[in-house]
Amino acid sequence: MSITKESWGETKAGEAVDLYTLENANGVRAKIATYGGIVTELYMPDKDGNMADVVCGHKTLAEYEAGHPYFGSLIGRYGNRIGKGKFTLEGKEYTLAANNGENHLHGGDVGFDKKVWKAEAVESDNSVGVKLTYVSVDGEEGYPGRLTSTVVYELTRDNELKIDYKATTDEATVLNLTHHGYFNLGGHDSGDILDHVMTIAADRYTPVDEGLIPTGEIAPVAGTVMDFTKPTAIGARIKDVAGGGYDHNYVLNNQDGSMALAARVSESETGRVMEVYTTEPGMQFYTGNFLDGSNKGKGAVYNKHAAFCLETQHYPDSPNRPEFPPVVLRPGETYTHTTVYRFSVE
Ligand code: BGC
């Protein structure tokens, strides 16, 4: 297994960015940029041993800086939406950027996906990795408290991409860190993901309003187009989903904070399988509904449904929903979250 580091140039603001390459003995390779903690490439074998890059993204830092829909990025401080960009914590109201209609999305105008993280290589018997650290100052993007986040990406011997998140604060705050990989198990340039077969370990989900803010209801998936409790093609009922496809938070069956299977996805032509394990109580299933061909990445044109995202998380708008699992972090506490994307073939 190996870890290599190369310079990836500078941001427009003049910050130096590095690109780490993690490789295991199976020839599986992940490239991770210190800008946004972006997984820019992820090469996985198919059933015949052929490698393909299974994540959407761009080739250069300049293309990422020019704007993209969070391809492969780390998301913070708050993954997904906060209604009207407002919440109250310990009696004080906070106002965040309304960067998605009237709502706040993925941490605001300059979220963690656009920050340059400090990085160091990390290695264990079982893995090669990179540990990323970012200190978000008090008031950044409107959030209270100085928040120190570390994210360790590891590529294991068993073709897993493991992500370990930790964070501490000096003042009560809210957070919801996640990873926004856009996966296509046929290869990032292979067309749409409608034939991929999805299983999600969730009997319930959080219905949303037109602005994609949860209504507060926790609804059963049974008997609806939301039901992926049994293996089902992503495209089987997608035409009947309001809003052009799936963009919903699933209430994972496992709610006790231990690692549990959240989803399994397979693609029959290549035989590639991806399983997602997480400690989080929720997962956003997003089918690239807003991809429109304008994102030409790594030589491919990404049209609607060119990829799917499985963002392990707390539920959207939790800061305004006391009935949802809590997202408040206080001084002296440590936020933890582990997610594993495990790849295999069948
Ligand atoms: C959101 C989508 C959004 C996408 C890209 C997902 O997490 O739920 O609504 O378009 O991220 O920003």
Cα 26 to ligand 1 centre (Å): 33
Q: Which residues on adjacent β-strands are paired with residue 165?
A: 151, 337
pLDDT in tens, 183-241: 999 999 999 999 999 999 999 999 999 999 999 999 999 999 999 999 999 999 999 99
**285 pocket-lining for ligand 1 (C-beta < 6 Å):** no
Mutational pocket test of ligand 1: of 38, 104, 286, 289, the residue with most ligand atoms within 8 Å of the beta carbon: 286
* Share of the chain residues as helix, strand and coil, in percent rounded to the nearest 5: 5, 45, 50
pLDDT in tens, 13-68: 999 999 999 999 999 999 999 999 999 999 999 999 999 999 999 999 999 999 99
Q: What pLDDT shows up at residue 226?
A: 98
pLDDT in tens, 111-147: 999 999 999 999 999 999 999 999 999 999 999 999 9
**311 pocket-lining for ligand 1 (C-beta < 6 Å):** yes
- H or E element, residue 266: strand 260-266
Residue 71 CB: number of other CB atoms within 10 A? 27
**78 pocket-lining for ligand 1 (C-beta < 6 Å):** no
Residues 101 and 111: their CA atoms lie apart, in Å, by: 17
Residue 296 has pLDDT above 90, yes or no: no
**287 pocket-lining for ligand 1 (C-beta < 6 Å):** no
Q: Residue whose CA is closest, atom 12 of ligand 1?
A: 69
Q: Residue whose CA is closest, atom 4 of ligand 1?
A: 69
pLDDT in tens, 322-343: 999 999 999 999 999 999 999 9
Q: What pLDDT shows up at residue 318?
A: 98
Q: How confident is the model at residue 295 (pLDDT cuts 50, 70, 90)?
A: confident
Mutational pocket test of ligand 1: of 74, 103, 247, 302, the residue with most ligand atoms within 8 Å of the beta carbon: 247
Q: Residue whose CA is closest, atom 10 of ligand 1?
A: 290
Query: Measured between alpha carbons, how far is residue 278 from residues 145, 260, 322 in Å?
Result: 26, 6, 22
Could you tell me the pTM of the whole model? 0.98
pLDDT in tens, 257-284: 999 999 999 999 999 999 999 999 999 9
Cα 49 to ligand 1 centre (Å): 32
DSSP string of 33-52, one letter each residue: ESBTT-EEEEEEE-TTS-EE
DSSP string of 192-253, one letter each residue: --TT-EEEE--SEEE-B-TTS-B-S--EE-TTSTT--SS-EETTSSGGGSTTSS-EEEEE-S
Q: What pLDDT shows up at residue 125?
A: 96
User: Known catalytic residues?
Assistant: 180, 311
Q: Which residues on adjacent β-strands are paired with residue 277?
A: 261, 340
Q: What pLDDT shows up at residue 321?
A: 98
Q: What pLDDT shows up at residue 269?
A: 98
Find out whether 264 and 273 touch, Cβ atoms under 8 Å: yes
Q: Residue whose CA is closest, atom 5 of ligand 1?
A: 69
Residues 181 and 240: their CA atoms lie apart, in Å, by: 25
Residues 233 and 229: their CA atoms lie apart, in Å, by: 12
Cα 286 to ligand 1 centre (Å): 7
**286 pocket-lining for ligand 1 (C-beta < 6 Å):** yes
What is the distance, to the nearest Å, from the Cα of residue 60 to the centroid of all Cα atoms in its chain? 20
